[in-house]
Amino acid sequence: QWIYLDNDFVKKEEALVSVFDHGFLYGDGVFEGIRAYSGNIFKLSEHLDRLYQSAQSIMLNIPYSKEEMEEIIIGTVRRNQLETAYIRVVVSRGTGNLGLDPVSCSKPSVIVIAESLSLFPEELYERGLKMGSVASRRNRPDVLSPQVKSLNYLNNILVKLEANQAGVDEALMLNDQGYVTEGSADNIFIVKNNKIFTPPVYLGALEGITRNAIIDIAPENGYQISEQPFTRHDVYTADEVFLTGTAVEVIAVIDVDGRKIGTGRPGEVTKHLLTAFRNAVMKDGVQ
């Protein structure tokens, strides 16, 4: 496996960053998770836009243009002879001294990892996930925006730990007003009377690229879809609940806080959208 690390392709074993890198010391950096399907990199320009916006927001200068970064990402997939891949792009503040001030960091580190995808087992899609709401709240948009995919994912890790402790597959994260926002690393949708709803991102959710793809795909498949604030009550009483994300694609939720959702089995709308999404990824991508 070849890793892109600061202008070079190096072997996995040699892909090492300094303990003085502020990405390591402070979580100071940004990242993206991207997926390639049969050689097509899905929504690459959307992922690049989000990466550069995350970096801009934290005053991190990515030392390449978007076009150069695109070439690096495509190059990393090719170098590893991958068709279907999970791609991780990381840009950290780089090495500095032990103080947290980024001023000591002379140049950002750029890392691209592409590896063959470990797919979620198909039985998980057939069974559906159990979700539980957690005590931790989504960080407020006026402090550190949820739109910044920063290397400091402790908040999301804490909710994952809470979900593990509660014995459920995924966490349901609320904002500080109690509105539903998202999961630990995926967006949430509910279906009621064949209409689909997802929380507006201003409540405190990442504007997921899979989320946006579903917002495009749903009307093409005859569904009304809208962004609307909702609470746990709306989730408990929905006909269907599903999550979206680069890794998980579209997956049903069949239980939330012990409430059975719908029939307790993945619903028709969710299954339909998963199929439509899997068709779309084959057509829409950078070769």
Which stretches of the chain bind ligand PLP, using CB under 6 A?
33, 156, 182, 185-187, 206, 208-211, 244-246
Tell me the residue number closest to ligand PLP, measured at CB. Answer: 208
Q: What is the CA radius of gyration of the chain?
A: 19
Q: Given strand 2-5, what is the order of strands in its sheet? A: 8-11, 2-5, 109-116, 85-92, 29-37, 40-41
Angle CA(100)–CA(101)–CA(104) in degrees, nearest 5? Answer: 110
Instruction: Name the pairing type of β-strands 40-41 and 8-11.
Output: unpaired
Just list the catalytic residues: 149
Q: Which is nearer to ligand PLP, 28 or 186 (CB)?
A: 186
Q: Which is nearer to ligand PLP, 21 or 182 (CB)?
A: 182
- In the block, residue with structure tokens 């962004």: 227
CB of 277 to ligand PLP, least distance (A): 11
Q: What is the DSSP letter of 119?
A: P
Q: Which is nearer to ligand PLP, 105 or 225 (CB)?
A: 225
Burial 267-285 (b: 16+ CB within 10 A, else e): bebbbbbbebbeebbeeeb
Instruction: Name the pairing type of β-strands 240-245 and 224-227.
Output: unpaired
Q: Which is nearer to ligand PLP, 110 or 251 (CB)?
A: 251
Q: Letter for the amino acid at 185?
A: A
Residues 182, 188: contact at Cβ < 8 Å?
yes
CA distance 84 to 149: 23
Q: Which is nearer to ligand PLP, 173 or 261 (CB)?
A: 173
CB of 43 to ligand PLP, least distance (A): 8
Q: Which residues, other chains included, contact 72 with Cβ-Cβ below 8 Å and sequence gap of 6+?
A: 4, 64, 110, 112
Q: Which is nearer to ligand PLP, 105 or 168 (CB)?
A: 168
CB of 13 to ligand PLP, least distance (A): 28
CB of 35 to ligand PLP, least distance (A): 8
CB of 30 to ligand PLP, least distance (A): 12
| Conformation bin of residue 63: beta by default, left when phi > 0, alpha when psi is -120 to 50 | alpha
CB of 215 to ligand PLP, least distance (A): 11
